[in-house]
Chains A and B, each alone.
Chain A
Amino acid sequence: MNYPIPTGTRDILPDEMRELRQLSSVLLQTFQRFGYGEVSTPTMEYEDVLVQGDERAAGASYRLFDEHGQVLALRSDMTIPIARLAATRFAGVEPPFRFCYLSHAYRAVRPQRGQQREFLQAGIELIGADAPEGTVEVLEVLTAALDAGGLPRARVGLGDAGMFTGLLRGMGVAPAGSKAVLEALARHDLVELERLVAGLDVASQRRETLVALPQLRGGPEVIERAVEIGGEDVRAAISRLGEVADRLSERGIADRVIFDLGLVRDLGYYTGAIFEVYDPALGHVIGGGGRYDGLLARFGHAYPACGFALYVERMHVAQAEEDRLRAEGGR
């Protein structure tokens, strides 16, 4: 190859591009059908504005200087830019706001892992609608988008970002101990989690809760099971999930959701419900999202908010894999 392009970037040729375009438009049409208006923001933003939203600038990896020496960062997702947009362009307008987007975002890759530096995201942000109603609306749009995108077997993992932090705080665990436990949980290293928890100065019943809870996942029955295991310690977080579960059943989409009490996402701004999107044909996550009730306040407006992003290229891979499986008549 004489004229290389950066690792983690791709040229897209007509056959693939046609399918990607088709997928992108059905996703946008679905979002718009639910009343979400498409917006676009600059690919690069002032770094200190992104940092306003999240200390790590949502994990932005690429920075450059403009001609005045200001530090610019390539966006790593659309959530912070849209929070900024809502806070500045819609100041004085009564929420809720419903926005959708189809945009590239940029993240660092680890060498030789086939990861993409530049990837296409399609998603929505619902700003100014509280849990549980707002969460359920976002999940409804998400499942509709997965159906429209030809992935009826896809499922949404649903957890609560605040559960373990609250649990550890309630048990009086020191911040240093909490941090190690949360890190093991984020890696889903249950062996390390068990080892760390064994060293915590809490009652043995509570130690069992900390180990058993993150292994709970499945249908709405895990919500009852979590209360049996965790009792009073988990009641607040569990009742948040329970309220969402009830409304999902009412709307007939409860079977698209896997309740997952071990779900932890590594982005700093999530507060309540968090999502991950899976398709059985693909070993990688195809999307994610959640509630970020504190983010808009960082831009001067204390609005609750919730959203998701789907990785369009990965959805396309999942579509192709689903087609292959169908052709082969199952794996």
Chain B
Amino acid sequence: VSEPLRLAVPGGSLFGETLDLLDRIGVDSAPLRSDSRSLMFPGEEVTVVTMRPSDVPTYVEAGAVDLGITGKDVLMEQQERVVYELLDLGYGRCRMVVATRAGNPFADDLERRLGAIRIATKYPRVAARYFDQSGRQAEVIEVKGSVELAPLSGLADGIVDLTATGRTLEENDLEVREVIADCTARLVANRVAHKMRHEAIERIVERIGNGAR
């Protein structure tokens, strides 16, 4: 009885390159490309499930899917999820950074005078951990939408966010102060499936490793 492996594929910015990867490892991505309304795409070897990148660790941890692809930024923010990180897929490369208003002479001054810096972010746990580990105090403010708005409007002194080209930051008059981490797409596995379906998972991992990266 060899049921297909279930693989979670992230929507959003990683979607296109993930579909290219599927093609390279022999999983037909045509149905995903042509049908944007379905969520599950059954296959003989692999059944693909599409979802938000930030939901991938949840589904993988619970075993609702066996494997998943998501960004390292998501895994960093959901560090408590028990998922096995198997491969760095190499694409979706970007950096998790601390940015403040460009040429802002007051940022350091504020941190010195007020003892803490106000940071707006969609990654509150990454931000809190980073400032904590570097021995500094930060007031972390979680926002859901465009985080660039926070320093412009005075909600925060700086932001912690993901940047690929730095263009959005530039357009909003923000500059990178510190790099927290380099992020790429990762292949993660459910802890039980990693053992119980080890042959099927190893086949996929090998195929990705053999030049598909």
Contact = CB atoms under 8 A, between A and B. Distances in A.
Interface residues of B, number: 23
A283 B80 contact: no
Interface in B80-125: 80, 84-88
B198 interface: yes
Contact of B88 (A113, A191, A280): A191
A190 B202 CA distance: 14
B144 interface: no
Given A113-B80, A217-B198, A218-B198, A283 B62 contact: yes
Contacts, number: 58
Contacts of B50: none
A284 B85 contact: no
A155 B198 CA distance: 12
Interface centre among B61, B86, B190, B196 (most CB of A within 10 A): B196
A188 interface: yes
A285 B192 contact: yes
B196 A110 contact: no
A284 B192 contact: yes
Contacts of B80: 110, 113
Contacts of A187: 85
B84 A280 contact: no
A281 to B, nearest CB: 9
A190 B85 contact: yes
A20 interface: no
Contacts of A110: 80
A140 B15 CA distance: 47
Given A191-B88, A283-B192, A331 B62 contact: no
Interface string B43-63: 000000000000000000111
Interface of B: 1, 3, 61-64, 80, 84-88, 186, 190-196, 198-199, 202
Given A190-B84, A190-B87, A280-B196, 12 more contacts: A188-B84, A189-B85, A191-B85, A191-B86, A191-B186, A258-B198, A260-B195, A276-B195, A278-B196, A284-B62, A284-B191, A284-B192
